[in-house]
Amino acid sequence: MFKNEEMEINLGPQHPSTHGVLRVKLRLDGETVTHCRPMIGYLHRGVEKICENQSFFQGQVWTDRMDYCSAVANNLGWAEANEKLLGITVPRRAQYIRTLLNEFNRIASHLIWLGTHAMDIGALTVFLYAFREREDVLDINEAFCGSRLTTTAFRIGGLREDLPPGFEKMVRKFLAKFSDCLEEYEALLTENRIWKKRTIGVARLSAEDAIALGVTGPMLRAAGVAYDIRKAFPYAAYAEMDFEIPTRTEADTYARYQVRMAEMRQSARIIQQCMDGMPEGPVMAKLPKILRSEVNEVYHATESPKGEIGYYLVGEKGSLNPYRFHVRAPGFINLQSLPKMAEGGLIADVVAAIGSLDIVLGEIDR
Amino acid sequence: MNKFLRTLLPADIAKGLSVTGKHFRQVFFTANRRKVPFHIVSEYPEVPAKVQPRFRGRLTMLKDEQGVIKCVCCLACEKICPTQVITIEKGKQEGRKMPYPVRYDFEMERCIFCEFCVESCGFDAIILNHQFELAAYNREDFSLGTEGLGQNMFEPSHVGKFSVADD
Ligand code: SF4
Ligand code: SF4
């Protein structure tokens, strides 16, 4: 009478907890997931191809629109990859300001993650608190470059303008209150028994698996591997900053939460150092009138809030636009680990796994 | 045993509730709510939203003291625009040495407000102003320019009543 059959269902692409248009094909045996395949491509715009047809200067606007939650980090990677390709050295003050904004962006991105991930799992309150602070970070973005989300913050060779008047006050005000705010989020979550039940031991991804799949960022650090490009291959002004790489060894969703919370504290520390040690000087390097590539090929990786974002650019010597452009998007590669984390678990934990990946589909589909 | 006691006493829940309670007290038991520092909600459509001085809003052309359009048709903005939304037609005007834009079309629906055009302009002829309510009822309303009916670059957009348009 009862047929014991596996059921196949689609999670998404319009599901609120898949953070955009991710579709996950699940095969279920009761409530247990036996097979899980993420399906992507709903947001494909062909960013790589478009950038190949535009000048080096214009390409930046597309990097904003890949991972729109961490646009500044994407801008930084793009600008630095291009500077490598075009052979430009950036003034020290510009490097500091870039580092400062990049860390603010990390905070903003992690706050979005915190809010939405907690909401997926069922803790709505944190969302409101996290977005309150994110608002301040977006105001800082707006004060610096005039836009809140799609920032187009940097230019190849430096920055468009110096810091606006009153910027330092905004930053100091934010820093003064931010550690209290972090404590508030932690008071709501860290000890909370429902949160712990939903996250501890859920969606494990061991260090071996993570490395084998190419997973980077907080996902990898929660598995105990202290790999951070800011330390391993310092860029911008990170070589002069004093900060730690938070790691955990449990490799579950709770560990990822702890790593990201600790990273926000470190980001605030870096911002403090940037603000205190801000050198004087110009913010823009001397550039030729028309940007032409100097070398043939570069790959430049930076640590975006989600993981390693790498820009691969091929430019024939003297060309005006990249011959080939490729993005190593952290979300795209981290998403590969979803089957590993979800298979064998419960269907409700798939949502926790997707949330802890911190994906943005704009970047995965590009 | 200890663990069992901790399960009975909802200390973790109380800790979370104390945070929400703190904000609840701060906001709702105060006579003048607007004075509360943590009250971050703004009454937007009634009170115009404040934007930062560098805000990137809609593209506007500037005029000089005599009320003449400053643009001299160097086409730098047209070339640099990543989405190709600016179209300029060069022309002559009586009593002016420099070329004059007979047509300056700006298709706002595709503009991404990146400010590259403003940056490339060596004559300070265009800026992005502080308007952000750019919705319109018809598609034609997005086609702005210096020429034609309902195509005025210098007027605020039809729907945006609330944002400040300061040039
Ligand atoms: S702001 Fe950017 S997209 Fe808009 S017209 Fe200027 S260059 Fe083009
Ligand atoms: S760059 Fe300035 S002067 Fe040149 S065409 Fe554009 S608006 Fe006119």
Q: Which ipTM did the prediction report? A: 0.75
Task: Take residue A293 and report the two structure tokens written for it.
Answer: 């590539």
Q: What is the pLDDT of residue B165?
A: 44
Secondary structure letter of residue A306 according to DSSP: T
Please indicate, yes or no, whether residues B70 and B113 belong to a single structural domain of this protein. yes
Q: Look at A193 and B7 and tell me if their CB atoms are within 8 Å.
A: yes
**CB contact at 8 A, A92 and A237:** yes
pLDDT greater than 60 at residue A13: yes
pLDDT greater than 80 at residue A272: yes
Give the distance (Å) from ligand 1 centre to CA of residue B83: 7
Count A/B contacts: CB-CB distance under 8 Å: 70
Segment B23-48 shows an average pLDDT of: 68
Domain range for A185 is 7-365
Q: Is residue B121 in contact with ligand 2, taking CB distance under 6 Å?
A: yes
Residue nearest to atom 2 of ligand 2 (CA): B121
Please indicate, yes or no, whether residues B124 and B157 belong to a single structural domain of this protein. yes
Please tell me the distance from the alpha carbon of residue A154 to that of residue A285, in angstroms, as a whole number.
12
Residue nearest to atom 4 of ligand 2 (CA): B74
Segment B78-93 shows an average pLDDT of: 83
Backbone angles phi, psi at B142, to 5 degrees: -85, -15
Please indicate, yes or no, whether residues B81 and B144 belong to a single structural domain of this protein. yes
Q: What is the pLDDT of residue A39?
A: 86
Please indicate, yes or no, whether residues B31 and B105 belong to a single structural domain of this protein. no
* Residue B144, SS3 per DSSP: strand
**CB contact at 8 A, A9 and A26:** yes
pLDDT greater than 80 at residue A318: no
Instruction: Give chain A's length.
Output: 366
Task: Take residue A276 and report the two structure tokens written for it.
Answer: 């205190």
Q: What is the pLDDT of residue B163?
A: 45
Please tell me which residue of chain A has the smallest CA distance to B41: A132
pLDDT greater than 70 at residue B150: no
Top pLDDT among A338 and A292 is at: A338
Q: Is residue B61 in contact with ligand 1, taking CB distance under 6 Å?
A: no
The answer to whether residue B48 is domain-embedded is no
Chain B residues touching residue A58 (CB < 8 angstroms): 80, 82, 116
**CB contact at 8 A, A223 and A210:** yes
Segment A212-219 shows an average pLDDT of: 88
Burial class of residue B103 (count of CB atoms within 10 Å of its CB; 0-12, 13-18, 19+):
middle
The answer to whether residue A1 is domain-embedded is no
The answer to whether residue A179 is domain-embedded is yes
Of all residues in chain B, the percent with pLDDT exceeding 70 is 76
The answer to whether residue A2 is domain-embedded is no
Please tell me the distance from the alpha carbon of residue B83 to that of residue A308, in angstroms, as a whole number.
28
Please tell me which residue of chain B has the smallest CA distance to A132: B40
Secondary structure letter of residue B132 according to DSSP: -
Range name among A160-174, A203-217, A295-309, B143-157 with the lowest pLDDT average: B143-157
The answer to whether residue A127 is domain-embedded is yes
3-state SS of chain A is CCCCCCEEEEECCCCHHHCCCCEEEEEEECCEEEEEEEECCCCCCCHHHHHHCCCCCCCHHHHHCCCHHHHHHHHHHHHHHHHHHHCCCCCHHHHHHHHHHHHHHHHHHHHHHHHHHHHHHCCCHHHHHHHHHHHHHHHHHHHHHCCCCCCCCEECCEECCCCCCCHHHHHHHHHHHHHHHHHHHHHHHCCCHHHHHHHCCCCCCCHHHHHHHCCCCHHHHCCCCCCCHHHHCCCCCHHHCCCCCCCCCCCCHHHHHHHHHHHHHHHHHHHHHHHHCCCCCCCECCCCCCCCCCCCEEEEEEEECCEEEEEEEECCCCCCCCCEEEEECHHHHHHCCHHHHHCCCEHHHHHHHHHHHCCCHHHHHC
Q: Would you place residue B34 in the very low, low, confident or very high pLDDT band (cuts 50, 70, 90)?
A: low
Q: What is the pLDDT of residue A133?
A: 86
Please indicate, yes or no, whether residues B31 and B70 belong to a single structural domain of this protein. no
Chain A residues touching residue B19 (CB < 8 angstroms): 129, 184, 187-188
Strand A324-328 to B59-61 pairing: unpaired
Element (H, E) at A154: strand A154-155
Q: Would you place residue B164 in the very low, low, confident or very high pLDDT band (cuts 50, 70, 90)?
A: very low
Q: Look at A191 and B115 and tell me if their CB atoms are within 8 Å.
A: no
Q: How many CB atoms lie within 10 A of CB B80?
A: 19
pLDDT greater than 80 at residue B36: no
Segment A225-242 shows an average pLDDT of: 86
Please tell me the distance from the alpha carbon of residue B132 to that of residue B57, in angstroms, as a whole number.
5
Task: Take residue B141 and report the two structure tokens written for it.
Answer: 């309303």
pLDDT greater than 60 at residue B39: no
Top pLDDT among A341 and B137 is at: A341
pLDDT greater than 70 at residue B37: no
Backbone angles phi, psi at A124, to 5 degrees: -75, -30
Q: Would you place residue B1 in the very low, low, confident or very high pLDDT band (cuts 50, 70, 90)?
A: low
Q: What is the pLDDT of residue A14?
A: 74
Secondary structure letter of residue A363 according to DSSP: H
The answer to whether residue A255 is domain-embedded is yes
Q: Would you place residue B92 in the very low, low, confident or very high pLDDT band (cuts 50, 70, 90)?
A: confident
Task: Take residue A274 and report the two structure tokens written for it.
Answer: 């940037």
Q: Would you place residue B148 in the very low, low, confident or very high pLDDT band (cuts 50, 70, 90)?
A: low
Give the distance (Å) from ligand 2 centre to CA of residue B122: 7
Segment B17-35 shows an average pLDDT of: 73
Strand A158-159 to A297-304 pairing: unpaired
**CB contact at 8 A, A69 and A265:** no
Q: Would you place residue B158 in the very low, low, confident or very high pLDDT band (cuts 50, 70, 90)?
A: low
Please indicate, yes or no, whether residues B148 and B74 belong to a single structural domain of this protein. yes
The answer to whether residue B50 is domain-embedded is no
The answer to whether residue A144 is domain-embedded is yes
Q: What is the pLDDT of residue A63?
A: 86
Please indicate, yes or no, whether residues B75 and B111 belong to a single structural domain of this protein. yes
Please indicate, yes or no, whether residues B70 and B120 belong to a single structural domain of this protein. yes
CATH of the domain at A223: 1.10.645.10
pLDDT greater than 60 at residue B125: yes
Q: Would you place residue B30 in the very low, low, confident or very high pLDDT band (cuts 50, 70, 90)?
A: low
The answer to whether residue B47 is domain-embedded is no
Please indicate, yes or no, whether residues B67 and B126 belong to a single structural domain of this protein. yes
Please indicate, yes or no, whether residues B26 and B73 belong to a single structural domain of this protein. no
Work out how many domains chain B is built from and give that number. 2
Segment A229-240 shows an average pLDDT of: 85
Top pLDDT among B77 and B11 is at: B77
pLDDT greater than 60 at residue A164: yes
Q: What is the pLDDT of residue A89?
A: 85
Work out how many domains chain A is built from and give that number. 1
**CB contact at 8 A, A356 and A203:** yes
Please tell me the distance from the alpha carbon of residue A77 to that of residue A73, in angstroms, as a whole number.
6
Angle at A69 between CA B115 and CA A43, to 5 degrees: 90
Please indicate, yes or no, whether residues B25 and B66 belong to a single structural domain of this protein. no
CATH of the domain at B112: 3.30.70.3270
Domain range for B95 is 59-166
Please indicate, yes or no, whether residues B63 and B134 belong to a single structural domain of this protein. yes
Please tell me the distance from the alpha carbon of residue A218 to that of residue A305, in angstroms, as a whole number.
8
Task: Take residue A231 and report the two structure tokens written for it.
Answer: 């330390």
Range name among A35-49, A59-73, A103-117, B53-67 with the lowest pLDDT average: B53-67
Q: Is residue B134 in contact with ligand 2, taking CB distance under 6 Å?
A: no
Q: Who's near A36: CB < 8 A, 6+ residues apart?
A: A24, A25, A26, A27, A338, A339, A342, A343, A350
Chain B residues touching residue A187 (CB < 8 angstroms): 15-16, 18-19
Chain A interface disruption, residue of B8, B52, B84, most A CBs within 10 A: B52
